Every structure is written in structure tokens, then in C-alpha cells.
Structure 1
């Protein structure tokens, strides 16, 4: 197994570590890898910097109830991109797209 392939195994763990969302065993595994991998240490530094920046721009308060629905209704009414995509597919995409932000917010 090459080093880059091995590093690929830790990409999700690096993001979780950067946001403070890594669990004990996962955290220990990533930290052990970081002890011998300069590339992943640099990646972690970058991810941590980005996570800190996201925290600075994240809203202090939750948007009002119904905000998300209103946005999607407006996109549909204006025929914007994604208007024809099924709601279930958009929900999956939103969940995946917002996972890192949610982890940062939780941290």
C-alpha cells in the first residue's frame, strides 16, 4: 500500500479532528498517523484554519422557521437549477453538503 493510499484512509478523520468532532478511537488513530506524515499534518493545519474561518462567518442565530422551505419554493418558482430534482435527492445532497459545517458549528 502506498503512502498516499494510506493517507486517503485518514481524510475524513482529519476533517473530524480539525472540527473537534473526532471520537476517542478515531482521534487516536489519526494522531498516530500524523506522527509520521508531514503531508497530513499540513492538511490538518489547513482544515483547522478553514474550520476556524467558517466559525467566524457562521450566523450567531438559526434562521427563522420555514426559511429553507421558502428558499426552495423560490428556486422552484423561478425555474432555477435543481428545480426538477426530487426532494429526496436534494435532502441527501443538503445533508452531505452541510455535514462539515454542522461539525464545525457543534465544535
Structure 2
């Protein structure tokens, strides 16, 4: 609980100082980018944990063919997710920026 309290206080102070330093519009942009990066990081952690689980099971069975197969399947899945993310994010991001984001840059 002490760690949670310290992290909460730090977050509140960090938000206050970031808002003062960046301003309202830049802080909003910073928050959106931070949320996107956090979301992608969570997806990556889930995928890595799942991949490790299946490879560890194959190693536990001492089946080298299964280890290679699991590795190859996981590699293909990771590459497909990366390509799908890029294929969706680029056009969606461009559309969102052109139609919904108003940025008053210096």
C-alpha cells in the first residue's frame, strides 16, 4: 500500500508539472501518444507471455520438433499482428489527424 500511495502522489505531481510545462493542447497530445504506447506495450506483453508459455511446454516435453514448430508459429503470429497494426494504424491515424485533431503549433 505504501508503494501504491507513493506512485499515486508521484503521478499527481507529475501531471501538474507536465501540464504547466507543456500547456493544455500539448499535454493532451502527449497523453494520447502515451496511451497508444501503453496499449501497444500491453498487447506485446500478452503475446510474449503466451509465446513463452507454449515454448516452455514444448521444452518440458523434450520435443525439439514441437519447440521449433511453436517458435515458427509464434513468429508468424507476431509478424502478422505487427503488419495488421500498421495496416490499421496508418490510415486510421491519418484520417483522425486530418478530421479531428486541431493543433496550434508554434
Q: TM-score range by the shorter chain?
A: under 0.3
Q: Higher helix share goes to which structure?
A: 2
Q: TM-score if structure 2 supplies the norm length?
A: 0.28
Q: TM-score if structure 1 supplies the norm length?
A: 0.28
